[in-house]
Copies of this chain bind each other. A is one copy, B any other.
Amino acid sequence: MDKKQKLGDLRETKKKIWSSLLEHSPVLQSLTRGQLDLDFYRMYLIETCHYTSYNAKNQALVATRKDNLDVHYQKFCLHHAQEEVGHDLMAWHDLQTLGGAWQREFLPRPLAATEALIAYLYWISENGNPLQRLGYSFWAEDSYEYLSPLIEALQKQANLKDSQLTFFKAHHNIDQHHIEEVEQIVLKCAKDHNDWQDIEFVMQATLKLTGLMVDEVFQEYSKMKAGEKFHYQKAFERAQLL
């Protein structure tokens, strides 16, 4: 098995899924048409607060498995978890810079799709091939590369300063070496066809679930703009945005 080749294939698959996601995304089309505003960004940040507050925890969970874990992989998981601690605070910070008198307890329950993403990350961290969670890191750690056109568009349309986009921009700078570390540990630990397959499976599954989350945010945003009841209504009221 040529590991370099396998890694190249995995990168290629990642690119293809992103292309397909971005092409069919109703959000991107709306951004392109100048139809998104701060409220969409607020909703997106709320979901981001939710799922990122669990990322360090489920990453660490892999290292607590009672299976006989590879020592290097176990250390990677703990080290990486440590670096993820507190990243939800960036999303929380950004939300606050957008205006509104936010308090953490105003946040509504995550959307169903966000809960499904969180649940899935816990599931694959606790069950099955311990390596498979690398499939999530494999795309999440360089997602900025793919998301930047959307973020630039959003920044222009909503007239945002960089300091209101720390989750994306500062995070991106912090994470830059992460994707290399992820690729290195994949190369080191993936031993056979199954390992590569499980990593790819989880990469696809979590990218798809993240896409569903963004779609559901967009549905709630559309409800708001149509004057219908929407998921964040009470939260927006409590934050004095409505």
Whether B112 and A208, one on each chain, are in contact in the complex, defined by CB atoms closer than 8 angstroms, is: yes
Q: Which of B74, B109, B122, B201 contacts A119 (CB 8 A)?
A: B122
Q: Which residue of B lies closest to A120 (CB)?
A: B119
Measured CA separation A78–B81 after assembly (Å): 7
Is A58 on the interface with B (CB-CB < 8 A)?
yes
Is A20 on the interface with B (CB-CB < 8 A)?
no
Q: Which residue of B lies closest to A194 (CB)?
A: B109
- Closest chain B CB from A14 CB (angstroms): 15
Q: Using A71-B85, A75-B82 as known contacts, say yes or no to A204 and B112 having CB atoms under 8 A apart.
A: yes
Is A28 on the interface with B (CB-CB < 8 A)?
no
Whether B119 and A123, one on each chain, are in contact in the complex, defined by CB atoms closer than 8 angstroms, is: yes
Q: Which residue of B lies closest to A125 (CB)?
A: B64
Is A60 on the interface with B (CB-CB < 8 A)?
yes
Q: Which of A97-129 contact B (CB under 8 A)?
A: 109, 112, 115-116, 118-120, 122-124, 127-128
- Besides A78-B85, A109-B128, A122-B123, 10 more A-B contacts (Cβ < 8 Å) are A56-B78, A57-B63, A60-B63, A63-B85, A71-B86, A71-B89, A74-B85, A78-B79, A79-B82, A115-B120
11 cross-chain CB contacts under 8 A: A56-B63, A56-B74, A57-B65, A64-B64, A74-B85, A109-B128, A112-B208, A112-B209, A115-B120, A116-B120, A123-B123
